[in-house]
Amino acid sequence: MPHIARLSIVLPARNEAAGLRAILPRILALMPDAEVLVVDDGSTDDTPAACAEHRVKHLRHHYPKGNGAAIKTGARAALGEVIVFMDADGQHRPEDIPGLLDEFNKGYDMVVGARQAGSQAGLHRAAANDIFSRFASWMVMQPIADLTSGFRVVRAARFRQFLYLLPNGFSYPTTITMSFFRAGYGVAYVSIHSPRRASGTSHIHPLRDGLRFLLIIIKIGTLFSPQKLFLPVSAGFFLTGLAYYLYTYLTAGRFTNMSALLFISAVFTFLIGIVSEQISALHYKNIDTSDHE
Of 132, 188, 191, 131, nearest to 155 by C-alpha is 188
pLDDT at site 117: 67
CATH number of 7-204: 3.90.550.10
**What is the pTM (predicted TM-score) of this model?**
0.78
| β strands within the chain, DSSP E | 7-13, 35-41, 57-61, 82-85, 110-115, 152-155, 187-192
pLDDT at site 124: 57
Q: Where are the domains of the chain?
A: 7-204, 226-290
Q: Which of 124-133, 215-224, 263-272 has the highest mean pLDDT?
A: 263-272
| Predicted confidence (pLDDT) per residue in 5-20, tens digit | 699 999 999 999 999 9
